[in-house]
Amino acid sequence: MKYLIIICGLIGVVLLYLLSSASANTALFSHNYSSLLILTGVLALGLTVLVGYQLWQLRIKLRERVFGAKLMLRLTLFFSLIAILPGLLVYAVSVQFLGKSIESWFDIRVEKALEGGLNLGRNSLETGLKELGKKGRLLSLILAEQAPERYAETLARLVDKVESQEAAVFYLDGRLAGSSVAGKKLHNIPDPQMLREAAQQGLYSLVDALPDGHLVLRVLIPVGSASSSLETRVLQVIQPVPQQFSADAETVQAVYRDYQELTLSRLGLKRLYGITLTLSLLIVLLSAVSAAFFLSVRLSSPLAALAEGTRAVAQGNFSGNYPVQSSDELGALTGLFNQMTAQLADAKRFSEQQQRQVENAKGYLESVLTHLSSGVVVLDAQFKLRLANASAEQILDIPLRGMIGQTFSAMVGQHLLLRSFADAVTEATAASAGSEWQKQMERLSKSGEQMLLLRGTCLKTAMDSSHVIVFDDITHLLQAERQAAWGEVARRLAHEIKNPLTPIQLSAERMQHKLSGKLDEQDAGLLQRATQTIVSQVAAMKNMVADFADYARAPAPKLALLDMHQLLNEVMGLYEANSSPITLQLGATHTWLNGDATRLRQIVHNLLHNAHDALQQVEHPQIILSTASTHSEFHLMVSDNGSGIQEQVLARIFEPYMTTKSKGTGLGLPIVKKIVEEHGGRIAIENKAAGGTQVIVSLPLAQEMEVA
């Protein structure tokens, strides 16, 4: 904007100078004045657009309540009034002065004086022509009495050499008959028309201008002759006009001509000078107004920058560094403000650095707590929850991190399963009296009985104190210990019981074989029944020992690629005549596994057999065998509409010899779980809300099939 105003001002100065030069120079005025006026008008229009744009920008700032806009408006009005009022006064005086000055140029006395000068010059030239004509008539009378051969001699003797006169006689066809300058070439030869007019009228005179610009008096007179047979001749007498007289006459004539032109264009001059003066005033005033806008912006911009910086500092932004545009008090104030913001920015960076260090330490601690397998809970002195990691939520199956700031009593009101945990922590903390403590507890979770090992301590600082509780779920560890113990018991029982069963069975059969023929019919029947009882019970003992052996030993499964849907269809062919109808719902899209087909069939048979046993007292029994799959797992679900399993039994359902059947051994589900785990899967049992039980077996898909 600054450079645009400077350029417009320079162009305006040049155009005004050219206009003033053109008005003082008539030739330049006539050729270029209109073009200069047009250029000046275009510049004035451009300055008007520039001022309008600045007004529009100021209006936007006022409407948006930009700080400093009102001050800018006041400064602009102040500077504009300072420029406009004197300009208008000078313009009014100039217009009056211009009108009176132009009228003063056209005085009647000046016009009369110029006309008198012209008439005087004309009268002087006419007097010279008359005198020269008299002399020419005298010469023509003398020449008329002489022969043409003597014309030259006579003219040379009679022509006045002092006044630089020149005389010559010509025939009507332009031939020279004699001259006063014999031997020299004549340059002032009259044309035939002049000769004829002189012959006809008796006298032809005029004031003529030579090619070099000098004035001469020319007179042509016919020469009389006594002999009529001679051709008509014409005498030409030429006398130069004095140089000074010629110059003065030309000056007077030129001045009179210019005066007449000015007289004719007097009204036009007034208009043109008025337009020139108006355009000059417009350019000056518009340039002054535009400069006033610029200066007001320059003066108010530091204040606006400081106000914006103050608002930024109030909002916590200390990055502003505003340029110092002057060396006065405003510039010094801007520099001090920049120094203040720099100091605040340094302090903020130092604070942010410390905060980042604290956050990094906190993030590191949170990362450690997140990846820690043990659950961690932090409580304040009033037992309000301060912190809980993901493992704590997973172990307790309660969204603890969504209850930060709540007390144990409020949390128990939302989740009743948390009561036993809260009571155990409260009691142990109160009993420890601020020292470390450890406790093992059993609680009821959504998936059954759960054993937790709790450890706690009290952390005290200068501000407050807090309780840190670390706990682990040892349910699976205890189950593994029980399973290992039961496996060892089963192995020993199988070893100790299996050996005497065969001799017992063989001895009973031998006794029947040896004694049946020696006893009477009644005793033989008794022996037959006793022997059969021994054999059947030994067979039952053998089956039980076989189950013990299956549970105790862990042979490596023979894995092969197989299609679970095909295996299920083969198994379902054996249950076509089952008393409880089985509905097959094969919804899995990925069905290929790496598994042992025999042992997987054992899983399906065992689950279907358990579901069938649970529906013996149900009026409308129904078993649903369904499948589903994800991108990495195959899910097998077996559900029934029986009465379900009691919660206390459900928590220990996979322990050996845990059964609700009157004739069950309690080894079926433990064996199923063992087979599932051997295949890298997991099994879960839950009671359905609508009644009945659902068993979910999740097995990993074959990798090559998963990729395909």
| 3-state DSSP of 579-591 | CCCEEEEECCCCC
Output the pLDDT for position 564: 92
Tell me the pLDDT of the chain averaged across its residues. 75
> Is the domain 560-707 a CATH 3.30.565.10 member?
yes
Please tell me the predicted confidence (pLDDT) of residue 555: 59
CATH code for residues 122-251:
3.30.450.20
Q: Is the pLDDT of residue 670 over 50?
A: yes
β-strand pairing of 448-460 with 437-445: antiparallel
| C-alpha span between 679 and 74 (Å, rounded) | 89
Residues near 547 by Cβ (< 8 Å), separated by ≥ 6?
665, 667, 671
Provide, rounded to the nearest whole percent, the portion of the chain with pLDDT above 90. 6
Residue type, 381: A
Residue pair 221/144 in contact by the 8 Å Cβ criterion: no
Mean pLDDT in residue range 416-426? 82
Whether pLDDT at 472 is above 50: yes
- pLDDT recorded at residue 104: 55
Q: What's the pLDDT band for 563 if we cut at 50, 70, 90?
A: very high
Can you give the pTM of this predicted structure? 0.36
Do the beta carbons of residue 302 and residue 330 sit within 8 Å?
Answer: yes
The residue whose two tokens read 């029986």 is: 642
Among 642, 627, 570, 630, smallest CA distance to 601 is for 570
Is the pLDDT assigned to residue 227 strictly greater than 50? no
Q: How many CB atoms lie within 10 A of CB 228?
A: 5
Q: What's the confidence (pLDDT) of residue 495?
A: 60
CA neighbours within 13 Å on the CB side: how many for 650? Answer: 20
For the chain, the C-alpha Rg in angstroms (whole number) is 68
Give the DSSP per-residue string, 313-372: HHTT----------SSHHHHHHHHHHHHHHHHHHHHHHHHHHHHHHHHHHHHHHHHHHH-
Selection from 230-244, 377-391, 525-539, 627-641 with the highest mean pLDDT = 627-641
What value does the mean pLDDT take over residues 576-588? 82
Largest pairwise CA distance in the chain: 224
Any idea where the domains of the chain sit in the sequence?
Answer: 2-105+265-308, 122-251, 372-473, 480-552, 560-707
At residue 695, the pLDDT reads 92
On the question of pLDDT at 627 being above 90, the answer is yes
Q: What is the pLDDT of residues 437-465, one digit of tens each?
A: 888 888 777 666 778 888 888 888 767 78
- According to DSSP, the β-strands at 582-586 and 623-629 are parallel
pLDDT for the residue numbered 346: 80
Contact, 696 vs 683, CB < 8 A?
Answer: yes
Task: Confirm whether 372-473 and 560-707 share one CATH topology.
Answer: no
Q: Are 91 and 277 in contact (CB under 8 A)?
A: yes
Ramachandran class of 633: left when φ > 0, alpha when ψ lies in -120 to 50, beta otherwise: beta
Across 51-65, average pLDDT: 75
Q: What is the C-alpha separation between 403 and 504, in angstroms, rounded? A: 67
Least confident range from 74-78, 225-229, 519-523: namely 225-229
Least-confidence region, from 98-112, 138-152, 573-587, 674-688: 98-112
Q: CA 41, CA 222: separation in Å to the nearest integer?
A: 67
The rounded distance, in Å, linking the Cα atoms of 527 and 499 is 25
Which amino acid type is present at position 105?
A: W
Identify which of 679, 683, 658 has the alpha carbon closest to the alpha carbon of residue 668.
658
Judged against a pLDDT cut of 80, whether residue 214 lies above it is answered with: no
Considering only residues 379 and 207, tell me which one the structure prediction assigns the higher pLDDT.
379
Q: How confident is the model at residue 553 (pLDDT cuts 50, 70, 90)?
A: low
Residue 228: pLDDT band with limits 50, 70, 90: very low
The number of CA neighbours under 13 Å toward the Cβ of 39 is 15
Nearest in space to 509 (alpha carbons), one of 530, 484, 491, 479: 530
Question: Is pLDDT at 30 greater than 60 in this prediction?
Answer: no
Q: How confident is the model at residue 27 (pLDDT cuts 50, 70, 90)?
A: very low
Question: Residues 275-325: pLDDT tens digits?
Answer: 666 767 677 776 777 777 666 766 666 666 676 677 777 767 766 666 666
pLDDT digits (tens, 9 = 90+) for 64-110: 776 667 767 777 777 777 767 766 776 666 666 655 555 555 554 55
**pLDDT higher for 226 or 285?**
285
Model confidence at 28, in pLDDT bands (50, 70, 90)? very low
Pick from 576, 653, 650: nearest CA to 608: 576
* Partners of residue 50 on adjacent β-strands: none
Res 653: pLDDT: 77
- Classify strands 204-209 and 215-223 as parallel, antiparallel or unpaired: antiparallel
pLDDT at 701: 93
Q: Tell me the per-residue pLDDT of 183-199, one tens digit each, with 9 for 90 and over.
A: 566 667 788 888 888 88
Backbone phi, psi, residue 695, to 5°: -110, 130
Taking residues 18-27, what's their average pLDDT? 51
The superfamily CATH assigns to domain 372-473 is: PAS domain (3.30.450.20)
SS3 540: helix
* pLDDT value for 101: 59
φ, ψ dihedrals at 558, nearest 5°:
-90, 95
Q: What share of the chain is helix, strand, coil (3-state, %, to 5)?
A: 60, 15, 25
- Is the predicted pLDDT of residue 343 greater than 50, yes or no? yes
Q: What's the whole-number mean pLDDT along residues 531-546? A: 78
